[in-house]
Every structure is written in C-alpha cells, then in structure tokens.
Amino acid sequence: MSTPSLFDFFVPCPRGLEAALAAEIAEIAAAHVGGAPFVAGAQVPGGVHFQGGWAAGMAANLHSRIASRVLLKIAQRAYRSEQDVYALALEQSWERWFAATQTLRVDITAIKSPLKSLEFTTLRVKDAICDRLRDKTGARPSIDTAQPDVRVFAFLTATECTLYLDTSGEPLFKRGWRLDKGAAPLRENLAAGILRLTGWAPGTPLYDPMCGSGTFLAEAAQIALGVAPGAERRFGFEKLKQYDITAWQGLKVAALDAKRAARTRRDALAIYGSDISGDMLEKARANLERAGVPSLWLKQLDARAMTPPSDAPGVIIANPPYGERIEVRGRGPRGDTRETGRNRGNDDAFRRTHVDAPDGEFFIALGDALKQRFAGWHAFLLTSDRSLPGQLRLRESAKTPLYNGALECRLFRFDLVAGSVKSKAGASAE
Ligand SMILES: C[S@@+](CC[C@H](N)C(=O)[O-])C[C@H]1O[C@@H](n2cnc3c(N)ncnc32)[C@H](O)[C@@H]1O
C-alpha cells in the first residue's frame, strides 16, 4: 500500500480550549509547514481534527502549546461488541508503523459505549495488535505501561470505534523544563491556552502575583521569545518506522536555533512574577532557566501588598490558591511576607489535609489591591471557586469554563476601571 500524502490527525486538549487550539494549529501550519498540505477539521469537545502530511503532524507536536497529544488516525468503524473492536484492530497494518521488538501500551477512552468492560476491551485491542504482528513478523511486542515505545489509543462512542497511533509519546504539557514542581502547578498547556484566551500579546505587561513554580511566566516568556515548547524533548513519532526524518531535522534545528538566540536577548520582556513563598520563587527561577528564559522580575511579596510592576497597564494572570488543594498564606497583617506556623518553608505542610472555608479576609484584601492600584489593567483569575468575584467584591466581565485536570474551573475576567467595585458583596456563581 502506498503511503498516503494526507493523514487524519486528532489533537486532544484541555476542555474549553478547543477554539484556541484550532486557531493555534492553523497558525502552526501556516508558519512551519508552508506549502505542505494542511486542512483544518472539525472542533469537537476535547480536541480538534486536522488533515496534513507528516510535516504538519511533527510541527504540531513541536510547536503546539495547547495540545495534549497529536494522534494519528489509523481506522474507524461501527462496532457492537468486543469482537468487532478486536477484528478492526487485527486488520490494521501495524507492521508498517512499528516492529515487534518495540514495547506497546494501549489505552481506551469511551463515551456512552455499550461494552461492559473497558479493561477487557483494552486487552482485546492489545491482543489483536500482538496477533497481527506475530502473524506478519513471527514475534509479539511486549507490553510496557510505564515507558512504552508505541502507544495506541482506542476511542469508543456509542456506535463507533476509532484507533489512533500516538505521535507524541509523553503528553505535550511535559515540555522538559519543569523539574521543580510546586504543590499545585498548573499544566503547561492549560496555562498557554489561558494566555491565548486573555488576548495578551508580547510587549504588553503581564503580571502573575501568585506565580508559584512560574508556569504562566515560562509559557508567556517562551511565546514572547518564539521558543518552541517542544524544542528540548523527544516525541513518539521518532520511534515509528515511517516518519519524514529529513523534514524533522529541519524543524528541530530551526527550533533549537531559536531557543539559543532567545538566551542572548537582553530586551526586557515585561513579564513579572511574585509569590509569598521564597521556596516557590526558587522553583520558578530554576524552571525559567531551563525553559531558556533570560532572567525576569521576580519578587517575594504578599499579593495583598502588590503594586503595578510597570508604568503601562497590562494583564494580571493567576490561579490563586484553591480551597481544595492549597492554602492561602500570609493571613497576618497586609503586606506581611513572613511565613508563619506550619507553613514555614515546608511545601508538604503546605497542602491542605482538609477542606476549609475559603479565606475571606485574603480575597477581600486582594480585591481591594486590584481595585485601588490596578486601574486600567485586566485581571484573569482561574479558580474552581465560582464565588470568587463575590469574595473579591468585583464584578467579572466574562467567565470561561475550563478544566484543570478533572477539576472544573472558571477563568474570571475583571476589567479594572473605576466603578468595577460591586455595589454589594455577594457571590456571582452561576
Ligand atoms: C495554585 S498555586 C499557583 C501555582 C502556579 N500557577 C504554578 O503553576 O506553579 C497558588 C500560589 O499562591 C501562592 N500564595 C498563597 N498565598 C499567597 C499570598 N498571600 N500572596 C502571594 N502568593 C500567595 C502560593 O505560594 C502558591 O505558589
């Protein structure tokens, strides 16, 4: 069978970012695979379809900041039983893509599937692939769920089964620069998607006053510097038999050159971060260094005492401590940056062991800081707490549902102009 020039790709992303991802994929195709075939496809809940050659698939892996993976569609057919799924997987020419000496992992996602056991169906897909390879090559691949060479994804709806070969390997939010995690870091692709939703553009001041391990800062700085998110990492497609190695070398060399050039940039990026925790700022510094970002303005500061870090107004972006996941620090007088009691210098102690009421005093003071000192700025706060605007005593101008892993969140937008103060404190939950 001859290699088709156009492949069908599906690119999953955090829910709520599908439109942002579709726009990003189209930009990547225009910028990095000029002239090569690329056809934008449908947006569906949880991802985006597109058609393109290998170059488009590789460029999406290397350059997409929002995608979770890039999956290559192998087959799709109606099914009614596990046996139908087995038969579909058995018919595919897996030997074209990988060898029996490589290790394999199979995952299944299902929405409204009538099948009783997804574990059993996963085993049937795995059996079919192994049976096919043994039939064609005389050997069966071994299974490795931790670090497989090759990953196959099956997606089941009520009536249809789609088989995908993963071209990413490790999920794409793993950029390779994060070694130091905070207690509740944001996934890199969610942070990048949020940056796009805010409409922020390089050159406009960007400030994260609760920056933690620096995810928003690193993503924003890489955007400003034109550093590809995947410049330093490996991808699943590098282990597949069929991929365009010449095109890949071209894409990768250009990305590494851009990253090297970024390190020498001396112009100020107007990206600022602060956090009450010195430990977190150390982690942010180390992460930014590995992300190839020249040094940024980073300060240890209670967010209630923050003042604009730039003369021109810009964008504030943060995910404040979540009631469920992490504790607000600095309950002392406003501006007190000491770490007290059980929080002192210990990030494990920093995790909540129980769910408390939100820290009302902190959010009232944070709202005051925004209202009184940040007129002209636009603040975007990601939280799972829908009563945040009421707690801040600010009226949101927009709220966007987003998922941080399994946690349903809202991205609240506050346009900080005179009169944005709520007349009466109260939650504005939906
Ligand atoms: C949910 S985490 C933010 C995670 C961050 N976006 C990241 O990717 O690592 C909340 C952050 O708020 C910080 N924080 C808690 N109380 C604070 C306060 N009063 N002032 C400033 N930062 C505070 C914590 O130290 C923590 O880093």
**What band does 244 get if pLDDT is binned at 50, 70 and 90?**
confident
Residue nearest to atom 13 of ligand 1 (CA): 210
Residue with tokens 């156009």: 6
Q: What is the mean pLDDT of the chain?
A: 88
**pLDDT score, position 165:** 98
Phi and psi angles of residue 383, each rounded to the nearest 5 degrees, phi first: -155, 155
Same domain assignment for residues 208 and 312: yes
Same domain assignment for residues 293 and 379: yes
**What band does 3 get if pLDDT is binned at 50, 70 and 90?**
very low
Which atom of ligand 1 lies nearest, measured to the CA of 331?
Answer: 19
Find the angle CA(161)-CA(59)-CA(271) to the nearest 5 degrees: 115
Of the two residues 34 and 79, the one the predictor is more confident about is 79
Among 116, 133, 166, which residue terminates a domain?
Answer: 166
Same domain assignment for residues 150 and 197: no
Residue 307 Cα to ligand 1 midpoint, Å, equals 17
Residue 79 Cα to ligand 1 midpoint, Å, equals 48
Same domain assignment for residues 306 and 161: no
Residue 257 lies in a domain: no
Residue 367 Cα to ligand 1 midpoint, Å, equals 16
Which atom of ligand 1 lies nearest, measured to the CA of 208?
Answer: 6
Residue nearest to atom 27 of ligand 1 (CA): 212
> Any idea what the CATH number is for the domain that residue 270 is in?
3.40.50.150
Number of structural domains, the chain?
A: 2
246 vs 208: CA distance, rounded Å: 40
**pLDDT score, position 329:** 65
Residue 232 Cα to ligand 1 midpoint, Å, equals 27
User: Do 100 and 51 contact (CB within 8 A), yes or no?
Assistant: no
320 vs 407: CA distance, rounded Å: 14
State which of 180, 217, 275, 287 you would mutate to test the pocket of ligand 1, scoring each by most atoms of that ligand within 8 A of its C-beta: 275
262 vs 251: CA distance, rounded Å: 17
Residue 41 lies in a domain: yes
Which domain, by its residues, includes 317? 188-227+265-415
Lowest mean pLDDT among 55-69, 176-190, 282-296, 395-409: 176-190
Same domain assignment for residues 158 and 198: no
Q: Are strands 206-208 and 271-275 parallel, antiparallel or unpaired?
A: parallel
Residue 180 lies in a domain: no
Sheet holding 206-208, edge to edge: 297-300, 271-275, 206-208, 315-318, 378-383, 407-415, 398-404
Residue 212 Cα to ligand 1 midpoint, Å, equals 5
pLDDT (tens digit per residue) in 94-127: 999 999 999 999 999 999 999 999 999 999 999 9
Same domain assignment for residues 124 and 223: no
Q: State yes or no: pLDDT of 384 exceeds 60.
A: yes
Same domain assignment for residues 271 and 404: yes
Q: State yes or no: pLDDT of 153 exceeds 60.
A: yes
Same domain assignment for residues 98 and 160: yes
> Any idea what the CATH number is for the domain that residue 26 is in?
3.30.2130.30
Residue 392 lies in a domain: yes
Same domain assignment for residues 22 and 115: yes
Q: State yes or no: pLDDT of 356 exceeds 60.
A: no
Same domain assignment for residues 194 and 161: no
pLDDT (tens digit per residue) in 299-322: 999 999 999 999 999 999 999 986
Residue 58 lies in a domain: yes
Residue 347 Cα to ligand 1 midpoint, Å, equals 11
Which atom of ligand 1 lies nearest, measured to the CA of 283?
Answer: 9
Residue 177 lies in a domain: no
| Strand ranges, E, within 215-296 | 271-275
Residue 304 Cα to ligand 1 midpoint, Å, equals 12
**What band does 296 get if pLDDT is binned at 50, 70 and 90?**
very high
Q: State yes or no: pLDDT of 428 exceeds 50.
A: no
Same domain assignment for residues 277 and 131: no
State which of 213, 274, 276 you would mutate to test the pocket of ligand 1, scoring each by most atoms of that ligand within 8 A of its C-beta: 276
Percent of the chain exceeding pLDDT 90 equals 74
Residue nearest to atom 5 of ligand 1 (CA): 212
Same domain assignment for residues 392 and 324: yes
Kindly list the protein residues whose Cβ atom lies closer than 6 A to any atom of ligand 1: 182, 184-186, 210, 212-213, 215-216, 275-277, 280, 302-303, 319, 321-322, 326, 328-330
> What is the average per-residue pLDDT within 190-199?
98
Q: Is 103 exposed, middle or buried (0-12, 13-18, 19+ CB in 10 A)?
A: middle
Residue nearest to atom 25 of ligand 1 (CA): 277
Which atom of ligand 1 lies nearest, measured to the CA of 212?
Answer: 27
